[in-house]
Amino acid sequence: LKSLEESEYADKTIVVIYSDHGWQLGEKQHWRKFALWENVINTVLMIKVPKGVRGLTSGSQNGTTCRRNVSLVDLFPTLTELCGLNPKHGITGNSLIPLLLDPSIEWHYPVITSLGDNHYSIIKDHWHYINYDGEEEELYNLKEDPEEWFNLATEASQENITQQ
């Protein structure tokens, strides 16, 4: 980034750094990436926007951290808006510009992840729901159980959350 900042392209280049998945390092007796728990589907995402870019003239704030759940499909609408482009209707994802402006705002968009043919994960707010092939379900309250040890899917008090 230092070389970029010293170049003629510094005020014209948006930098995005991301990873495609996290990793299990023995948690829940799993090693590798093939699971739908938070520490596997959570990825690194960093966006640096220079001042003067059409969609965010103030640029991004250095050193700011955002703890909201977003999806990598949100990158396309974000970048098209930052570049002042008009994408065709029907694109998937949500622009992250509101979070770049204020990382503490409420963000209620769900993040959906799939694994294989019929395994899905949905994170919305502080809830994480996992469904394996329409049969086994897991539900975690990430605020109270960030390591996802206590499956609440079968608790009657959480039936409304599971149904949503």
Question: Can you give the pLDDT of all 164 residues of the chain as single tens digits?
Answer: 889 989 999 988 999 999 877 666 666 666 667 778 777 778 889 999 998 888 888 888 888 899 899 999 999 999 999 998 887 777 889 999 999 999 999 998 999 988 888 999 999 989 999 999 888 999 999 999 999 999 999 887 777 777 77
Burial 45-57 (b: 16+ CB within 10 A, else e): bebbbbeebebbe
DSSP per-residue letters across 63-79: T--------GGGHHHHH
The pLDDT of residue 30 is 64
Residue type present at position 69: N
What's the chain's Rg over C-alpha atoms? 18
Full-model pTM: 0.82
119 bridge partner residues: 115, 132
Distance, in Å, from the CA atom of 131 to the CA atom of 120, rounded to the nearest integer, reads 5
Residue spans of the domains in the chain: they are 1-109, 110-164
